[in-house]
Amino acid sequence: MDRTPGCPFDPPPELAKLPPLSRLDFPDGHTGWLATGFETARTVLSDPRFSNRQELKHSPVRATSQFGQDQPAPPGMFVTTDPPEHTRYRRLLTGQFTVRRMRLLEPRIEQIAAEHLDAMAAAGPPVDLVRAYALPIPSLVICELLGVPYEDHEFFQEQTARIVHLDEEGVPELAALAGYLGELVRRKRAEPGDDLISGLTGDLSDEELTNLALILLVAGHETTANMLGLGVFALLEHPEQRVLLDDDTAVEELMRWLSILHVGAPSRVALEDVEVAGELVRRGETVALSLPAINRDPGQFTDPGELRLDRADARRHLAFGHGVHQCLGQQLARIEMRIGYRRLFERFPGLRLAVPASEVPLKERAAVYGVESLPVTW
């Protein structure tokens, strides 16, 4: 489904016309379901009768065999497993991503943001905000957290962009990134440092740690970078909302309203026959979830199509998922976005687009929605 031209922040209008759960034909011939209702999504994401195992699911966007996802997840690829396997990896990581530990990173994130704002001011307008600000901040933070050399950022950013693009094969890039991280894991085992990868060498095999690092590196920069870029675009188009950036719900509302995981994820497969939203989902049927529609469910949010940074019920969104697979790094992402948005508009209160809004290139063919670039001036 295509978005309406000139409405880059709104999901395809056809989604709003669908019932909470409707039939969906998948590219591989499977007939499953599409969930667009908020309560339906919460049920599917929290009910243990629905599995997240990749070898059981069908992809709504492309052939799963393209990435070997018709086979069980390799060791360490915990996001596409179920308990108890998922639980074992999650427990190892939970202590690394507590609210307290993430808050300890705030001064460093503030410093990173300030340094990039200084560089923007020194370079002068116009600049591409994605390359100058939105992409470097989460990339630097996740590199320092994991122990990945930031001087390699162009390599892993390029591989990631191709992996999540729906028209790219992605397999060679995935292999290249896994090979890079595998070598890094072996170096960390020989000469450990003060970072997350080094800290887990005593608990995990090289293969497990490589796959785990792959997930954290890709998810740790790609999603937040797109939220920063697309979020700034939204704020430039809704300048009246910028005075509300200090509100505690501002980031939550941007997450709800933009819902950048717009196709392909998340999804679940029924392990047995389950009745959901008045429909019988048969064992083996995949349920794909449309987060843009779910987070704009009028049954859950008042005037869901409006961006209101002081929205009282914004925190109820499902942009970070729900249930045992809820995003592990959500507190870090919140801090990066809160600092990123506030400091940018404090430093450049006159920030504006350097091109017409209609000329901003959008990532409509990527699994993670955003802007390819965001030319700005001040």
DSSP H helical segments within 238-315, as ranges? 250-258, 291-294
Helix (H), strand (E) counts: the chain: 13, 10
Q: Where are the domains of the chain?
A: 13-377
pLDDT (mean) for 72-95 = 92
Helix or strand holding residue 331 (H, E): helix 330-347
Give the tens place of pLDDT for each residue, 194-210. Answer: 999 999 999 999 999 99
The CA distance from 36 to 22, in Å, is 8
Q: What is the pLDDT of residue 196?
A: 94
Give the mean model confidence (pLDDT) for residues 68-85. 88
Kindly report, residue by residue over 26-41, the tens digit of the pLDDT: 988 999 999 999 999 9
Tell me the average pLDDT across 293-308: 97
pTM: 0.95
Is 30 within 8 Å of 258 (Cβ atoms)?
no
Q: How high is the pLDDT of residue 70?
A: 76
206-237 vs 85-94: helix axis angle to the nearest 10?
70
Sorting pLDDT into bands at 50, 70 and 90, what band is 67?
low
Q: Are strands 274-276 and 279-281 parallel, antiparallel or unpaired?
A: antiparallel
Task: Output the CA–CA distances (angstroms, integers) from residue 3 to 6, 14, 33, 180, 292, in the order listed.
Answer: 9, 9, 21, 37, 11
Joined tokens for residue 168: 């790219």
For the chain, what is the radius of gyration of the CA atoms?
20
Cβ(261)–Cβ(223) below 8 Å: yes
pLDDT at residue 374 above 50?
Answer: yes
Determine the pLDDT at residue 66.
52
Q: What are the tens digits of pLDDT across the range 243-293?
A: 999 998 999 999 999 999 998 778 999 999 999 999 999 999 999 999 999
Cα–Cα distance list, 148 to 47, 184, 197, 211, 216 (Å): 36, 8, 9, 14, 11
What are the residues whose beta carbons fall under 8 Å from the beta carbon of 235, sequence distance 6 or more?
A: 241, 242, 245, 341, 345
Nearest CA-CA partner of 42 in 21, 61, 25: 21
For residue 65, the model assigns a pLDDT of 47
pLDDT score for 285 = 98
Provide the H-helix boundaries in 47-152: 85-94, 99-104, 106-123, 129, 136-146
Residue in this structure with the two tokens 């109820």, named with its chain if needed:
316
Block residue for tokens 């492309």: 62
Average pLDDT over residues 293-314: 96
| Distance between CA atoms of residues 295 and 304, nearest Å | 8
DSSP string, 131-196: IIIITHHHHHHHHHHHT--GGGHHHHHHHHHHHSBTTS--HHHHHHHHHHHHHHHHHHHHS--SSH
Q: What is the pLDDT of residues 46-63, one digit of tens each?
A: 999 999 999 999 988 875
pLDDT for 263 = 84
Note the pLDDT of residue 275.
Answer: 98
Beta bridge partners of 275: 280
pLDDT at 64 over 60: no
- Per DSSP bridges, beta strands 21-25 and 31-35 are antiparallel
**Residue 347 forms beta bridges with which residues?**
none
Q: Is the peptide bond before 20 cis (omega within 30 degrees of 0)?
A: no
pLDDT in tens, 206-218: 999 999 999 999 9
3-state secondary structure of 272: coil
> What's residue 63's pLDDT?
58
Q: Architecture of domain 13-377 in CATH?
A: Orthogonal Bundle (1.10)
Q: Answer for the pair 18, 297: CB distance below 8 angstroms, yes or no.
A: no
Residue 155, pLDDT score: 92
Among 63-77, 109-123, 213-227, the minimum mean pLDDT is found in 63-77
345-352 long-range contacts, CB within 8 A, separation 24+: 345/235, 345/242, 345/245, 347/117, 347/121, 348/117, 348/120, 348/378, 350/378, 351/232, 351/236, 351/376, 351/377, 351/378, 352/236, 352/376, 352/377, 352/378
Instruction: Return mean pLDDT, the chain.
Output: 94
pLDDT tens digits, one per residue of 350-364? 999 999 999 999 999
Contacts for 341 with CB less than 8 Å, ≥ 6 apart: 228, 231, 232, 235, 245, 250, 251, 254
What count of residues does the chain have?
378
Q: What pLDDT digit, counting tens, does each position of 2-14 carry?
A: 899 999 999 999 9
- 132-188 pLDDT, tens per residue? 999 999 999 999 999 999 999 999 999 988 888 887 777 888 899 999 999 999 999
